[in-house]
Amino acid sequence: MLQGTNVAAGKARGVVVGTALNTQIGKIRDQMAETVEDKSPLKQKIDEFGQQLSKVCGDKCALIGVCKCVMGVLYLELMSVL
């Protein structure tokens, strides 16, 4: 009998031959755990775009900081948002 087997009536005897990972359900679980999920082309493109976008934003922030330092802006003014 497998987990979830319903018995409506009658008598029976059972012998446990395996538990947990030693059952058919456990073997299926192992096979599912071994599979590697490949990224779809769309997910790959989105990841690449995110990496490029973060690099561009970081570069622009660094450039603005350098320009403000060259112009003589104080450090506290450089860090202020307003």
Where are the chain's structural domains? Answer: 41-79
Share of the chain above pLDDT 70, in %: 84
Q: To which residue do tokens 């192992």 refer?
A: 30
What Rg, from alpha-carbon coordinates, does the chain have?
30
Give the pTM: 0.46
Rounded-to-integer distance, Cα 77 and Cα 58, Å: 19
The predicted structure's pLDDT at residue 66: 83
pLDDT in tens, 42-73: 999 999 999 999 999 999 988 888 887 777 77
Give residue 69's region: left, alpha or beta (phi > 0; psi -120 to 50): alpha
The predicted structure's pLDDT at residue 11: 85
4: pLDDT strictly greater than 70: no
